[in-house]
A and B are shown apart, each in its own frame.
Chain A
C-alpha cells in the first residue's frame, strides 16, 4: 500500500494524480459509486428484462456508462472523459429540450422522470476537476501527428 507521491509520479499515466487533491479524487470516486449503484439499479433491470420489440439504444448507452463507472472507481482521473460525456450530454439536453419544454409546458410523457435524473447531473459541476480538465484537454499539446 505504498502509494506515495513518488510511486504515483513514477508513471506518466499518473501524472495527474498529484495535480488534484485527495479530496477531489474521493469526490470523483463517490460520483462513480453513485453511477454504479444508482444508475445500475435503474438500468440493469431494464437491459435484462425488456419488451422484445424495444429499440434498446438508450438503455445500452446508459448501461455502458454503468460498466465504465467501475473503472472510474480505480482510475478516477483517467476515466474523466466518461464524466465529461455525462456532463456534456446532460447540459445539451437541458438547453435544447429540458428548459424549453419546461417553460413552454409542451412536454413528453417521460419529462418528469428524465428531467429529474438529468438535472442531477448538475452535481458534476462540483465533481469534475475543471482546472485539471483544462490543463489536460485544452492547454496540453495534442498527441503527435508525425
Chain B
C-alpha cells in the first residue's frame, strides 16, 4: 500500500526516527519495569530500621525512570542503555563466573534468571540505528 519507500507504516520508520512498533516495544518494556519493580518501591515505606537500602533506592530510581520512558521512549534511551550495560557487567563479572565455578551468592539462581535474561530483551528493543546515529555519529554537543 505504501508506494513511497520513505512512507511510514506501523513497522517502518519512514522519515521518522524509529517505527511506531519500536516505540511501543520500548513502552512495553518500560511498563514491564513499572509493574515488576513496584513491589520493591513499596518496601521503601516499610523496611528494617537499619537496612542499607542502597539497592532498593536504585531500583526505585529506575522505576521512576520507567514511568518517564512510557511518555518519552526515545529521550530515555540512556536508561535502556544503562539497563543493558549493568546487566551485562553483572553477567560477565558475577553471574557467569559464579555459575561456571558452582560457587555463588545464595541468590544466584534467581538473579541469573531475573538479571541474566534481560540483556537479550534490551538488545532486541533498543533501536540500534537510532543509537548509532545519535550517540556515535552525531557531532558532540558544543564545546565552545
Contacts and interface: CB of A to CB of B under 8 A. Distances in A.
Given A55-B111, A89-B60, A78 B89 contact: no
Contact of B90 (A56, A71, A84): A56
Interface string B41-71: 0001101011111111110111011001011
B101 A97 contact: no
Contact of A89 (B50, B58, B90, B98): B58
Given A25-B142, A63-B86, A93 B97 contact: no
Given A101-B49, A108-B50, A82 B82 contact: yes
Contacts, number: 181
A78 B78 contact: yes
A142 B67 CA distance: 12
A76 B53 contact: no
B89 to A, nearest CB: 4
**Shortest Cβ-Cβ A-B pairs, 3 listed:** A89-B61, A56-B94, A64-B86
Most chain B Cβ neighbours within 10 Å, of A50, A63, A85: A85
Contacts of B142: 3, 8, 17, 22, 25
A60 B90 contact: yes
Interface residues of A, number: 65
Interface string A32-57: 00000000000000011010111111
Interface of B: 16, 20, 23, 44-45, 47, 49-58, 60-62, 64-65, 68, 70-79, 81-82, 85-87, 89-90, 93-95, 97-98, 101, 103-105, 107, 111, 115, 133-135, 138-144
- Chain A contact residues: helix, strand, loop or mixed: helix
A81 B79 contact: yes
Contacts of A50: 93-94
Contacts of A96: 44-45, 47, 53, 56-57
B54 A58 contact: yes
A58 B103 CA distance: 19
Given A22-B144, A89-B57, A142 B82 contact: no
A145 B138 CA distance: 26
Contacts of A7: 139
A116 interface: no
A81 B78 contact: yes
